[in-house]
Structure 1
Amino acid sequence: MNKPIRSEEDVIKGCIANDRIAQEQLYKQHFSPMFQMVHFYCSNEEDAMEILNSGFLRVFQKIQLFRHEGSLAGWIRTVIYHVMISEIKTKQRTKPNIELEHNDAEHHDFTLEKLFKEDLDSLIHQLPPATARAFSLFANEGYSHHEIAEKLNISIGTSKWHISQARELLQHKIKMNHE
């Protein structure tokens, strides 16, 4: 039985060698922030887990391409994000569009999975700069409110407000684009 691997470099080398213990360690270390990112875009946990597992599979298949030019977490986030966008686009092509009733409050809870990456990026750039930055850190990069607060030198409450404000503004913009 292999012993647990400690350093990031050892984890990377182990994953390249298809070592299951290294893969498990990488998965466990990066699961939570990656799940938050994917779940934010998906309508339910089942879809999020399916996409996340496909994303980690791609990470394990492509880890030898990691060039240490940035953080491993950032590279993993990018790989999983691209898998997620691809899966969402595929599902959009296979799902029939259902008309939303404008009077039903539940239907106003739009999900961002209905947007392509370019559309979402365009909408995010229309947000106030501080709100856009906090939202991007939360949604695209998987940062927690605590991490956002530290990175942007704001309080956790302010981080939560920016994310809530971004969601509200994006939902309004999405609704306006679909009417």
Structure 2
Amino acid sequence: MTEEAIIQGCLKQQAIAQKTLYERYSVKMLSVCYRYAHNREDAEDMLQEGFIKVFSQIHTFKNQGSFEGWVRRIMVHTCINILKKNKKFNESVDILHAAALQVREENIPSIIQAKQVVECIRMLPMGYRTVLNLYAIEGFSHKEIGTILDIEESTSRSQYTRAKAMLEDILIRKNIIQKPKPNYLVAASGAS
């Protein structure tokens, strides 16, 4: 069944088209939901609620951009709305620990097993994880994130910076990346 046939069938509320749409996108969308959820069960609940919204709002799809991207945006917004409703993205964070870490993006190798990184991201506090996902993975701006999460743009920026620092610390502790070696040449030249 073509994408257009699926969309047209879903507009007519045909069960076979809805089933085909679900089968085509559920695995990818579950991985999106999993990045925001505490566990697989929560991710599955988010996925189900997201697909209910997809089916009820399919008439708003205007064939501008990819249909998969449209479905993904609904899933992300569904996840965020569930987190906001449950206030799970406001979990407390050891800010002093996070602020003390320095961000060193250049130390993260370009090729790391995606599964390992996802598991490390899932270790972040919900607020940090949510901002990191929205900014680095979904491509939202800090201004958009502020609007979505009802926080200041500067809070989004600081949460993202702290999330990267904590993620780096987790990756180092799990021996996925190496702890950066001090650059004595830079330190020595700065001392003069």
- Normalised to the residue count of structure 1, the TM-score between the two structures is 0.57
The 2-side partners of 1:18 and 1:69 are apart by: 22
Cα shift at 1:111? 3.9
**Structure-2 change in CA distance of 1:74 and 1:20 (3 Å):** same
Q: Are positions 1:64 and 2:77 aligned together?
A: no
Q: What letter matches 1:114 in structure 2?
A: G
For residue 29 of structure 1, what is the amino acid of its counterpart? R
Question: Relative to structure 1, is the Cα distance of residues 172 and 86 closer, same or farther in structure 2, using a 3 angstrom cutoff?
Answer: same
Q: Is the 8 Å Cα contact of residues 42 and 111 (structure 1) preserved in structure 2?
A: no
Describe the superposition over 1:112-134 as per-residue Cα deviations: whole angstroms up to 9, x where unpaired. Answer: 633585x4478x4xxxxxxx4xx
Q: After superposition, what is the alpha-carbon deviation per residue over 1:124-168, rounded to whole angstroms, capped at 9, x for unaligned?
A: 4xxxxxxx4xxx1xxx39xxxxxxxxxxxxxxxxxxxxxxxx9x9
Counterpart CA distance in 2 for 1:19 and 1:78 is 23
- Report the count of equivalent residues: 123
Indicate how the Cα distance of structure 1 residues 80 and 109 shifts in structure 2: closer, same or farther if over 3 A, else same: closer
2:126 to 113, 117, 137: 113
| 1:18-97 matches, cutoff 5 A | 18-92=13-87
Q: CA deviation at 1:22?
A: 0.3
Q: Does residue 7 of structure 1 match 2:2?
A: yes
1:170 matched residue in structure 2: 164
Post-superposition shift, 1:7? 1.0
Aligned partner of 1:153 in structure 2 is none
- Report if the CA contact (8 A) 2:124-2:163 is conserved: no
Q: From the CA coordinates, give the structure whose radius of gyration is larger.
A: 2
- Kept in 1, the 8 Å contact 2:91–2:125? The answer is no
Change (3 A) 1:173 1:99: closer
4+ residue runs over 6 A deviation: none
**How many angstroms does 1:110 deviate by?**
3.3
Unaligned runs of 5+ in 1: 1-5, 103-107, 125-131, 142-165
Tell me the secondary structure at the aligned position of residue 64 of structure 2.
coil
TM-score calculated relative to the size of structure 2? 0.53
| CA distance 1:86–1:80, shift in 2 (3 Å) | same
Q: Is the 2:50–2:78 contact (alpha carbons within 8 Å) kept by the matching residues of 1? A: yes
